């Protein structure tokens, strides 16, 4: 089947996109036009304008965020330019010892009232709300007006060809030419307008970054406290108890050395075995804090050693040998360890492939297993914690895990290696 010329496809897709831009842009003016029509229908009296005006304001406020989101979605779909929303996120409400709920602004008697009050306050104090309202007024006279050229040309062509006069038919021909020539380009004004007026301001981006770092600091503090408690528990339950028993055995052997040398020798032998076991436990504990191979030989060799100790068949592929800052190496190493543990316990995988590469901005670690899939990042889970640890370094964790597998996890951290 013969394919249509490329300019025909470009004109058709451009016309559809231009109509979409016009439709989204004119939602705000449409609300006000409906309000004016309602006022006229009521008789255009001296005071009858108040209700339509109020409803138009409410409609504009209600539509501002959906319109902005639709613009961002269209621009991202058509051009690949992702414009962050920059909206402030409501934090979890907290129940105080008094029984009241604190939402960051006020105390409320119930959790429902706290959340409702919080949403209203966040919405009214969020600079992004006023940015969206501004965009509602700017979009129709910028992107909407330019994108309206092809539809207006088609309308002129239809009207012109429907009349028998030669002059009107010439107008119809001109409208058709304008529509066809402008269709591939008229919709493109949506991208610069959206980027200019919907992108968060530097102050808003900085405020969001401060909030993000504050939340990350709180998460890290909680994680560090939990890690310290784990270390204390391991020392108390294993190494410390064994060392105490070792001291008692040596004290008993010292007393029995003169009266019962054989029994003393047996106690010393058991104490020596206990000392070796305690040393092994301490080494495992230190390995859990910071593996020596990671400090001495770097991330690649540490991951290879981790793969050798794994009960799964694990293949490690590293196209480069690199040394990173110790905190980054530690985060990636324990990230791989977390993913391997998940593959064993939850995915029931038999094979894991680990790939470590460099791209233009940093290091990328891919972990793929042949398990049953269906992995999801749940709040408070290990993967959520891993994502938080990587976010401290502006890193990301992306997981693709369809039901039935395979599961692919990608950790990327922007950094410079040596």
Structure tokens at 383: 């993967």
How far is it, in rounded angstroms, from Cα 74 to Cα 167?
Answer: 39
Q: Length of the chain in residues, anyone?
A: 418
Q: Which CATH architecture has domain 292-414?
A: 2-Layer Sandwich (3.30)
Backbone region of residue 287 per phi and psi (left: phi > 0; alpha: psi in -120 to 50; beta: other values): alpha
pLDDT tens figures, 1-10: 455 557 677 8
Q: Output the average pLDDT for the chain.
A: 78
pLDDT at 1: 46
Six token digits for residue 366: 């891919």
User: What pLDDT is stored for residue 361 in this prediction?
Assistant: 75
The DSSP string of 22-66 is HHHHTHHHHHHHHHHHHHHHTT--SSTTHHHHHHHHHHHHHHHHH
At residue 306, φ and ψ (nearest 5 deg) are -65, -40
**Are 401 and 373 contacting, i.e. CB atoms less than 8 angstroms apart?**
yes
Tell which residue, 73, 190, 68, 70, has the closest CA to residue 130.
Answer: 68
DSSP 279-298: HHHHHHHHHHHS-HHHHHH-
Contact partners, residue 33, CB within 8 Å, separation at least 6: none
413 strand-pairing partners: 363
| Structural fold of domain 203-289 | 1.20.5
> What is the C-alpha separation between 351 and 343, in angstroms, rounded?
9
Distance CA 411, CA 356 (A): 10
Going through 253-406 in order, the beta strands assigned E by DSSP cover: 313-318, 351-358, 362-369, 396-400
Question: What is the CA angle 287-291-293, rounded to 5?
Answer: 135
**More confident position, 73 or 278:** 73
pLDDT greater than 60 at residue 286: no
- More reliable by pLDDT, 220 or 363: 363
Q: Is a pLDDT exceeding 70 seen at residue 14?
A: yes
Q: How many angstroms separate the most distant Cα atoms in the chain?
A: 132
Among 122-131, 212-221, 246-255, 356-365, the range scoring the smallest mean pLDDT is: 212-221
Hey, what are 226's tokens? 């939990």
For 169, counting Cβ atoms within 10 Å of its Cβ (0-12 exposed, 13-18 middle, 19+ buried), the class is middle
For the chain, state the CA radius of gyration.
33
How does residue 206 score in pLDDT terms, banded at 50, 70 and 90?
Answer: low
**What are the angstrom distances between the C-alpha of 253 and each of 243, 244, 256, 262, 271?**
15, 14, 5, 10, 9
In 3D, which of 106, 80, 82, 102 has the Cα closest to residue 93?
102
Q: Is the confidence at residue 320, as pLDDT, over 80?
A: no
**What does the pLDDT look like over 85-115, one tens digit per residue?**
777 777 777 777 777 888 777 888 888 888 8
- Note the pLDDT tens digit of each residue in 121-171: 887 777 888 888 889 889 999 988 999 898 988 888 888 888 878 778 888
Q: Could you give the count of Cα atoms lying within 13 Å of 182 in the half-sphere of its Cβ?
A: 21
Cα–Cα distance between 280 and 238 in angstroms, integer? 11
Class of residue 343 by CB neighbours under 10 A (exposed 0-12, middle 13-18, buried 19+): buried
Choose among 418, 411, 412: nearest CA to 340.
Answer: 411
What is the percent of the chain with per-residue pLDDT over 90, rounded to a whole number? Answer: 2
8 Å CB contact between 88 and 128: yes
- At residue 388, φ and ψ (nearest 5 deg) are -65, -40
When pLDDT is averaged across residues 218-235 and rounded to a whole number, the result is 60
Mean pLDDT of 19-34: 90
Tell me the pTM. 0.53
Residue 273: pLDDT above 70? yes
Q: What is the pLDDT of residue 239?
A: 63
Q: Do 415 and 328 contact (CB within 8 A), yes or no?
A: yes
Residue 210 reports pLDDT greater than 70: no
């Amino acid at each position: 089947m013969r394919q249509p010329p490329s300019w025909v496809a470009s004109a058709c897709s451009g016309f559809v996109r231009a109509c979409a831009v016009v439709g989204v842009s004119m939602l705000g003016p449409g609300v006000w036009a409906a309000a004016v029509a309602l006022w006229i229908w009521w008789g255009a009296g001296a005071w009858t304008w108040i209700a339509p005006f109020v409803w138009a304001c409410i409609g504009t406020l209600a539509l501002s965020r959906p319109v902005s989101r639709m613009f961002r979605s269209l621009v991202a779909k058509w051009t690949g330019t992702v414009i962050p929303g920059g909206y402030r996120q409501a934090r979890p409400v907290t129940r105080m010892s008094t029984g009241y709920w604190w939402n960051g602004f006020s105390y409320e008697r119930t959790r429902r009232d706290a959340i409702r009050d919080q949403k209203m306050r966040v919405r009214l104090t969020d600079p992004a709300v006023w940015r969206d309202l501004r965009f509602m007024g700017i979009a129709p006279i910028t992107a909407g007006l330019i994108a309206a050229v092809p539809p207006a040309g088609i309308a002129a062509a239809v009207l012109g060809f429907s009349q028998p006069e030669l002059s009107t038919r010439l107008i119809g021909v001109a409208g058709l030419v304008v529509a066809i020539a402008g269709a591939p380009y008229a919709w493109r004004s949506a991208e610069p307008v959206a980027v200019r007026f919907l992108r968060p301001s530097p102050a808003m981006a900085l405020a969001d970054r401060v909030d993000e770092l504050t939340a990350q600091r709180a998460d890290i503090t909680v994680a560090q406290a939990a890690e310290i408690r784990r270390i204390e528990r391991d020392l108390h339950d294993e190494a410390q108890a064994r060392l105490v028993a070792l001291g008692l055995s040596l004290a008993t052997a010292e007393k029995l050395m003169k009266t019962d040398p054989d029994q003393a020798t047996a106690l010393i032998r058991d104490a020596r075995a206990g000392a070796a076991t305690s040393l092994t436990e301490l080494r495992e504990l230190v390995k859990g804090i910071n593996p020596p191979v990671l400090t001495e030989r770097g991330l690649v060799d540490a991951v290879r050693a981790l793969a050798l100790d794994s009960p799964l068949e694990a293949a490690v592929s590293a196209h480069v040998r690199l040394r990173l800052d110790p905190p980054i190496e530690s985060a990636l190493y324990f990230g791989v360890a977390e993913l391997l543990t998940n593959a064993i316990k939850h995915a029931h995988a038999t094979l894991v492939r680990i790939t470590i590469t460099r791209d233009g901005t940093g290091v990328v670690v891919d972990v793929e297993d042949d398990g049953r899939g269906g992995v999801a990042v749940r709040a408070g889970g290990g993967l959520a914690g891993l994502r938080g640890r990587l976010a401290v370094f502006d890193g990301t964790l992306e997981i693709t895990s369809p039901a039935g597998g395979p599961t692919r996890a990608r950790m990327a951290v922007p950094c410079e290696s040596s």
